[in-house]
């Protein structure tokens, strides 16, 4: 074999190896179905962001950790005629699986008393949550406060669902859209 043939053979072998390495790297980087389901079922927000907002709003915050189920923060606040509970569920400290806000009102209070805590929980920054998105979420909450089971998906794949089972209870779930 002459030198030019050896060079061509070496180049082809090098190209073949580069292609094989590239294919291997792509396969390694593609998440498995299990990884995809975990990544798509969470809000990319550190759950302590939600509990800090609650603390700053005067809520009492308790944290329960269970190795099997993860973290559960329960935040409670009672004002005259309004009892609010925010429950935050997370498997890890990098993302939040769900947030549920429950507001129980005494008979002399109107459902609009729920708006402040509902709106405040939508202001946390995460990938895809711009100021404009926050404003759209907050307007949607106002427009749907009395629509039982109203649900909407916003930028970043975050879903809000409002429950209005009676005149005295309002709930809102914040979760990753399925």
Burial readout 40-79 (b: 16 or more C-beta within 10 A, e: otherwise): eebbbbbbbbbbebbeeeebebeeeeeeeeebebbbebee
Number of folded domains in the chain?
2
Residues 133 and 168 in one domain: yes
Residues 25 and 90 in one domain: no
Query: 127 is in which domain, residue-wise?
Result: 43-176
Give the percent of the chain with pLDDT over 90: 54
* 38: in domain: no
Taking CB atoms within 8 Å and a gap of at least 24, the contacts of 57-62 are 57/117, 57/120, 59/84, 59/86
State the Cα–Cα distance between residues 95 and 175, nearest whole angstrom: 11
For the chain, the C-alpha Rg in angstroms (whole number) is: 24
Token pair 């979420």 in the structure block, residue: 137
Residues 76 and 153 in one domain: yes
Give the percent of the chain with pLDDT over 70: 77
* 14: in domain: yes
Of how many residues is the chain composed?
178
Residues 21 and 91 in one domain: no
Q: 72-84: per-residue pLDDT in tens?
A: 999 999 999 999 9
Residues 25 and 51 in one domain: no
Residue 55 belongs to what H/E stretch?
helix 47-56
Residues 48 and 126 in one domain: yes
Q: Band of the pLDDT at 6, cuts 50, 70, 90?
A: low
For the chain, give the mean pLDDT. 81
Residues 24 and 100 in one domain: no
């Amino acid at each position: 074999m002459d030198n030019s043939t050896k060079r061509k053979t070496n180049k082809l072998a090098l190209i073949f190896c580069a292609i094989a390495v590239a294919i291997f790297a792509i396969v390694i980087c593609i998440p498995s179905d299990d990884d995809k389901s975990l990544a798509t079922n969470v809000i990319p927000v550190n759950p302590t962001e939600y509990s800090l907002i609650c603390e700053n709003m005067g809520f009492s915050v308790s944290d329960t950790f269970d190795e099997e189920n993860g973290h559960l923060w329960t935040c409670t606040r009672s004002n005259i005629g309004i009892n609010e509970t925010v429950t935050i569920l997370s498997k890890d400290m990098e993302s939040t699986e769900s947030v549920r806000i429950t507001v129980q009102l005494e008979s002399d209070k109107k459902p609009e008393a729920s708006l402040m805590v509902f709106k405040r929980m939508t202001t946390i920054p995460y990938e895809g949550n711009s100021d404009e998105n926050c404003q759209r979420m907050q307007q949607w909450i106002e427009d749907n406060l009395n629509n039982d089971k109203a649900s909407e998906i916003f930028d970043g794949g975050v879903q809000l669902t409002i429950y209005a089972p009676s005149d005295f209870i309002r709930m809102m779930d914040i979760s990753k859209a399925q």
